[in-house]
Amino acid sequence: MAKASTNRLAPIYSIGLVLLALVALIYVASALPVDSLSDLRLRDLSWWFFLAITFLHIAYLLLSAEVWRRMLRMLTHTSTAYLDAYMQMAAVAVGKYIPGKFWGFIARTGQLHRHNVSARQSLMSSVVEQLLVLAGGGIVIIGAGLLALPEYTGSLVLLGSILLLGLLVMSVKAPTVVRWLQRKKTDSDVAEDLSSFSPFRFLQYAAAYAVLWLISGLVLCIIYFSLFDAVATVENIAALVFANTIGFVVGFLAVFAPGGLGVREATTVAVLAPFFPIREMIVATIVLRAWIVLFDGINAVILLFGESRRTAKDLT
């Protein structure tokens, strides 16, 4: 009975997340600097602009779910359907609009419980995921920084060395965490679980997340170069990807802001101040935010629909 009651509440939580996403979208739209709209080349936008950013964002979402599904199998030896992995990813993406950053992970824990994944395993998997997400961001920051800021090559190489060392330490320490989480298993079971961990495996997942960071940066590039009359040089593209990634990382760490709202955009604009007009970057980053919130709202609707169907199935 308690389980059924919890399932009945799941759609209510999803509805709340949808409303939060919509409120965030309205806030973003109202914050758009109207005096900058005269610089936009809205009439010159062609259908490929919307097709390109839609395709890249959908690719980002689909790849995110697949990377999470494979990582979950590595960390917990639990195989999940792709749709379940997407729902778990969507729960975290939508839950970030509640300050504190943990509501989405709570929702994911409830979903993983259906696959007999303990709360401790779910927490460990989510923590490793977030660390690898940050590591992937670090890879993109270093790579793009080398192209956009060659005068800081020495510092960026040092940062890259620290990042690789951190991935090595993570891969070495992860088995210790697994032993604690799965201490009730037999020694042979634990040995099988620990065989999944290696520095190369962690580097693979960090590289996968780096690809996702790169896709996000390319969306900002398309938005900016489509809206404003600027030359798309290698340096400019690298600068946009570099700043976008830093902005996302800082916004991710700003747990007090729902989805890093405002923090992410301010950081991105500040980093790009030496490269582009500030007013243009304010508009571009807000357009990107609105686009992301729109898809997060769609994910919230998908989450609501999926949880509603699961609840109806449990009650029959």
Query: Which of the residues in the chain have pLDDT under 50?
Result: 1-11, 14, 34, 184-194
Burial of 191 (0-12, 13-18, 19+ CB in 10 A): exposed
Distance CA 184, CA 313 (A): 33
- pLDDT at position 5, please? 42
Please give the full DSSP string across 255-279, using - where no structure is assigned: TTSGGGTTHHHHHHHHHHTTTS-HH
Please give the full DSSP string across 158-220, using - where no structure is assigned: HHHHHHHHHHHHHHHHHHHHHHHHTTTS-HHHHHHHHTT--HHHHHHHHHHHHHHHHHHHHHH
The single-letter code of the amino acid at 100 is G
Distances (CA, A) of 31 to 34, 227, 274, 290, 295: 9, 18, 23, 11, 19
Distances (CA, A) of 168 to 132, 172, 260: 12, 6, 29
pTM for the full predicted model: 0.80
User: What tokens appear for 2 in the block?
Assistant: 């308690």
Are 207 and 139 in contact by the 8 Å Cβ rule? The answer is yes
Are 45 and 53 in contact by the 8 Å Cβ rule? The answer is no
Burial of 315 (0-12, 13-18, 19+ CB in 10 A): exposed
- pLDDT at position 3, please? 44
Q: Pick from 190, 213, 193: which is nearest to 201 by CA?
A: 193
- pLDDT at position 121, please? 79
- pLDDT at position 223, please? 92
φ, ψ of residue 273 to 5 degrees: the values are -55, -40
- pLDDT at position 146, please? 94
Distance CA 295, CA 233 (A): 29
User: What tokens appear for 33 in the block?
Assistant: 């600097």
- pLDDT at position 305, please? 79
State the number of CA atoms in the 13 A half-sphere of 290 facing the CB. Answer: 14
Distances (CA, A) of 169 to 106, 163, 209: 27, 10, 19
Distance CA 316, CA 302 (A): 21
- pLDDT at position 187, please? 42
Any idea where the domains of the chain sit in the sequence?
Answer: 44-115+126-315
- pLDDT at position 108, please? 80
**pLDDT tens digit sequence for 252-269:** 887 777 777 788 888 999
**pLDDT tens digit sequence for 30-66:** 555 545 555 555 555 667 888 889 999 999 999 999 9
